[in-house]
Amino acid sequence: MASKKFNAIYIKNSFSLAGPVEKRGSIKDYDIVLDDYYYNEKTFEQAEIKMQKVVIDNLLNQSRLVNSEIDLLVGGDLSNQISISSYAASHYSIPFFGVYSACASFVQTLIAGAEYLDNKRKGNVICVTSSHNLNAEKQFRFPIEYGAPKPTTTTFTATGAVSCLLTKEETNIKIESYTIGKVIDMGCTDASHMGAVMAPAAANVIVSHLTELDRDINYYDLILTGDLGCIGSKILVEFLKQAYGIKMKQHMDAGCELYLKSQEETYAGASGPVALPLYLFNKVLKQKKKQKILLVGTGSLHNPFLVNQKLTIPAVAHAISLEVNL
């Protein structure tokens, strides 16, 4: 059993930065949008480090806090050795905890941050995550300017960075509970079909969450998965029905919703750890329509070497339940 309920842990503020393709997507009011992938830096890696710094700095300003008032910085991203988050953290005198579970990293930062705050009387934790389309392309796929034909199941790594502040002070967004998922391998080998790789892990953590906390699927107004994409979402809904007999009607996938259908270059939708928080903070929470939200971060845990060695790809998903006071 890896579920836990919290009494009083809240999300206070958040700050979002989105890239050029996201700017043309379904959300128009990000805090900052980039016009180019370099962000006035020499390389894309350095641009992503700057993106994280900018969202942390702005969050601190917005919350009127200084480094010494933050107990912990939890960060995660897709780069090798999560070096983007670590390099960004080196600019702050805040204890840093780096986490990785691919595109489920954002939910993992929330779980780690909330767990730290639990049983404390007061405290502030910053959670940060980012991804950069071109860094992910370079690391996981082909050189950036190489035009390999891609299948329609491919997802497009979102560019952006999001930071949020967890506190013990009461706000209108409460982190209510979480469930840590198992690593699931259902025999997929295609790294360009990550929706199929991750859907069973998402289903598994949803079922564990509902069982362990003794809830019905209709308890939630919205189940928001991270980056299954439009094809992976359909697979998840069908898999839940066939394998567990659960009909999930109130489902949305951040990856499938982040871009417009007319943006053909994004194929089956967005991926990357930043897709979920971008959609959550800039659409779902701003609309103020959903009260009980289950966030399910989904991560495909492959690396290019093991994919080349023809091993099947394992995936993990973590769930965190939010209660929004409308």
Q: Which residues of 94-105 are buried (b: 16+ CB within 10 A; e: fewer)?
A: bebbbbbbbbbb
Q: Is 311 in the site for other proteins (CB under 8 A)?
A: no
The nearer residue to other proteins, 142 or 219, going by C-beta atoms, is 142
Name the nearest CA neighbour of 1 among 222, 174, 276, 209: 209
Q: Is 304 in the site for other proteins (CB under 8 A)?
A: no
d(CA 86, CA 74): 10
Please pick, from the candidates 67, 80, 242, 291, the single residue that binds other proteins as defined by CB under 8 A: 242
Q: Is 30 in the site for other proteins (CB under 8 A)?
A: no
The nearer residue to other proteins, 200 or 299, going by C-beta atoms, is 200
Q: Is 132 in the site for other proteins (CB under 8 A)?
A: no
The nearer residue to other proteins, 91 or 234, going by C-beta atoms, is 234
Residues 6+ apart with CB under 8 A from 23: 30, 33, 34, 35
Q: Is 243 in the site for other proteins (CB under 8 A)?
A: yes
Q: Is 42 in the site for other proteins (CB under 8 A)?
A: yes
Q: Is 235 in the site for other proteins (CB under 8 A)?
A: yes
The nearer residue to other proteins, 178 or 239, going by C-beta atoms, is 239
Q: Is 234 in the site for other proteins (CB under 8 A)?
A: yes
d(CA 278, CA 286): 11
Around Cβ 143, how many Cβ atoms within 10 Å?
A: 10
Question: What are the tokens at 227?
Answer: 């980056």
Please pick, from the candidates 3, 62, 83, 153, the single residue that binds other proteins as defined by CB under 8 A: 153
Q: Is 150 in the site for other proteins (CB under 8 A)?
A: yes
- Residues 188-227 binding other proteins (CB under 8 A) are 188, 193, 196, 200
d(CA 233, CA 226): 10
Q: Is 65 in the site for other proteins (CB under 8 A)?
A: no
Q: Which residues of 292-305 are buried (b: 16+ CB within 10 A; e: fewer)?
A: bbbbbbbbbbbeee
Angle, alpha carbons 190-194-196 (nearest 5°):
85
Q: Rule CB under 8 A: which residues touch other proteins?
A: 42-43, 138, 142-153, 186-188, 193, 196, 200, 231, 234-235, 238-239, 242-243
